[in-house]
Amino acid sequence: MAKPGNTGLGRIIRATFYSIQGLRSAWRHEAAFRQELILMLVLTPLAFVVGQGLTQQLLLIMVGWLVVIVEVLNSAIEAVVDRIGAELHELSGRAKDLGSAAVFLALALNLVLWLGMAGRNLLHLW
């Protein structure tokens, strides 16, 4: 249910502000986010070298940025778990491990796609 007065252009402006605030927070507090963002800033132009045609290029870019998106979600999970308390709890550990697993899977998907396309398009392996 929407909050009263939280509609239209004002809602979009506030949502944009909160999103920028989240990106700044991720940059400031999350080393993994910084590393993955820098990697994607390098890989994005390389997608136009590795990918043959717009579809492949966009796929390489999208799967790369997926890593950054999943990292932001993982950081959010970690922040909420840490906010709840510092004591060890099985569910807290599981939540953090699942978030980490999601980042790992996104990175693995990224690696497989980049290696596959580079192998096919640049090295003509298959």
> Which residues are annotated as catalytic?
71
Residues with Cβ < 8 Å from 33, sequence gap 6 or more? 26, 27, 68, 71, 72, 75
Residues with Cβ < 8 Å from 95, sequence gap 6 or more? 77, 81
Residues 70, 103: contact at Cβ < 8 Å?
yes
Residues 120, 126: contact at Cβ < 8 Å?
yes
